[in-house]
A = this chain, B = another copy of it.
Amino acid sequence: MDNFTFYSPTEFVFGKETENDCGRYILKHGGSKALIHYGSGSAVRSGLISRVQASLEKYGVQYVTLGGVKPNPRDTLVYEGIELCRKEHVDFILSVGGGSCIDSSKAIAAGALYDGDFWDFYSGKSRIERALPIGTVLTIAAAGSEGSGSSVITKEDGMLKRSTGSDLIRPRFSVLDPELTFTLPAYQTACGATDIMAHVFERYFTNTKEVEITDRLCEAVLLTMIKETPRVIKQPDDYGARANIMWAGTVAHNDIVGVGRSQDWNSHGLEHELSGLYDCAHGAGLAVIMPAWMEYVYKHDVMRFVKAAVRVWGCDPDFDDPEQTALEGIKRFRRFLHSIGMPINFAELGAKKEDIPVLVKKYGLADGGTTGGFMPLNNEDITNIYTIAANAEIEL
């Protein structure tokens, strides 16, 4: 196990009707005037925004609102939010939505107190040194942004997707009401579940030895997702299953399951180019990329893939031919993703094989350079993985 620091100070407020308390939590965490930042009209139509506003009014918290966050949240709306915060002297950001909305809120929170261009934090030009406090009311279990210090924003000019991170943009509190996810369409639910599983697998495939506790915690989250996801696809208002998925999504990404070990993150890197180019859902892109990545890299540590196959996918280990067990685990993962309605190749995602050179170029790896924490990949490797992903089929 490697040395590490684990810090997750967010206050998680979980359960039915907890969104009605968000005014109280803003007050507790020092806010007096909030920007309520949200995404699509569904948060308004469902009455959620009204309930949130009522809670703020009950506790005497003033507010302004800014909606319109899209999936793969854009820099343009962030600039608008920053300007609004300054003009209205906002001292707290309340994010009502999913990962995109929270990521947009984090960018606004940091940008509002920065003299330069907030994109500096995403281009690597500058580090976040101050930020407005943030709270969230989560509406989809997926990104884990409600408990993380990271944010991904897409620059509209060139659809460039970049990330930043700081403890200063960790939410002070996050309200998680599983009932808010009842109305999610099956496809979005499955995209969220895929993202959660990907967050765990990015951590699971490591070169660090002696990490049994985090291995087991990773497996715990994956086993939960395998059990609970099909239940909510069938029965969207199954509170128990929605609740398990929602807490699993937070645990998957606040790093409690990933500390003290090298992590990979190449699947996320490769996926970002897909959703950047085609504006597809992040989870759907991951469903196409992650099994392809696994098939390409498993020989780097066959026994780790056997471990996943046996412990997560319930495979009977083939002691004469461990590679077959490793491959069987990956097959079961792809079949699982297919069973919950996820795309498994480029055609199903709406991506094009002939764009692979464009994707590789946009990834921006220098010739001879490598990326990733498990098996370092160069441009040829990336091309090969995109090609496997393009052509993948379900094997019975």
Residues 202 to 255 of chain A near chain B (Cβ within 8 Å): 209-214, 216-217, 219-221, 223-224, 227-228, 239-241, 243-244, 247-248, 251
Q: A213-B244, A247-B1, A260-B247 are in contact. Are A9 and B9 (CB under 8 A)?
A: yes
User: Chain B residue with minimal CB distance to A219?
Assistant: B220
Copies of this chain: 2
Given A210-B243, A213-B247, answer yes or no on A5-B12 (Cβ-Cβ < 8 Å). yes
Q: Nearest B residue to A14 by beta-carbon distance? A: B4
Which residue, of A4, A209, A241, has the highest number of chain B Cβ atoms within 10 A?
A4
Distance to closest chain B CB from A169 (angstroms): 16
**Separation in Å of the A208 CB from the closest CB of chain B?**
10
Cβ contact within 8 Å between A1 and B216: no
Beta-carbon contacts of A1-28 to B below 8 Å, as 1s and 0s? 1111111110111111010000000000
Residue numbers in B under 8 Å from A219 (CB-CB) = 216, 220
Distance A66 CA – B224 CA, assembled complex (angstroms)? 47
Does the CB pair B224–A212 fall under 8 Å?
A: yes
With an 8 A cutoff between CB atoms, is A256 at the interface? Answer: yes
Greatest chain B CB density within 10 A among A16, A213, A217 is at A213
Is residue A259 within 8 Å, beta carbon to beta carbon, of the partner chain?
yes
Q: Check B216 against A221 for contact (C-beta < 8 Å).
A: yes
CA distance A213 to B224 in the complex (A): 6
Cβ of A25 to closest chain B Cβ, rounded Å: 10
Cβ–Cβ contact A5 & B9, under 8 A: no
- Contact for A213 among B6, B11, B220, B259, CB less than 8 A: B220
The smallest beta-carbon distance between A390 and chain B, in angstroms, is 34
Contact with B along A135-165 (1 / 0, CB 8 A): 0000000000000000000000000000000
Chain A, interface size category, equals 35 or more
A216 partner residues in chain B, CB cutoff 8 A: 219-221, 223-224
Q: Is the CB of B260 within 8 A of A210?
A: no
Q: Which of B13, B210, B217 contacts A5 (CB 8 A)?
A: B13
- Cβ-neighbour of A243 out of B8, B227, B256, B260 (below 8 A): B260
Known: A244-B210, A244-B213. A5 touches B11 (CB 8 A): yes
Instruction: Report the Cα distance A177→B219, complex, angstroms.
Output: 25
> Are B14 and A251 closer than 8 Å at their CB atoms?
no
Residues from chain B with Cβ under 8 Å of A227 in the complex: 212
- A211 CA / B239 CA spacing, docked (Å): 11
Q: A11-B7, A12-B7, A219-B220 in contact; A212/B244 too (CB < 8 A)?
A: yes
Chain B residues with CB under 8 Å of A228's CB are 212-213
Chain A residues at the B interface, C-beta cutoff of 8 Å: 1-9, 11-16, 18, 178, 209-214, 216-217, 219-221, 223-224, 227-228, 239-241, 243-244, 247-248, 251, 256, 259-260
The 3 closest A-B pairs by CB, nearest first: A3-B15, A210-B240, A216-B220
Given contacts A8-B9, A209-B240, 8 further A-B contacts (CB under 8 A): A1-B243, A1-B244, A3-B16, A6-B14, A7-B11, A210-B240, A213-B220, A217-B217
| 8 pairs of residues in contact across A and B, judged by CB atoms under 8 Å | A5-B14, A212-B224, A214-B247, A217-B220, A217-B251, A219-B220, A247-B259, A251-B256
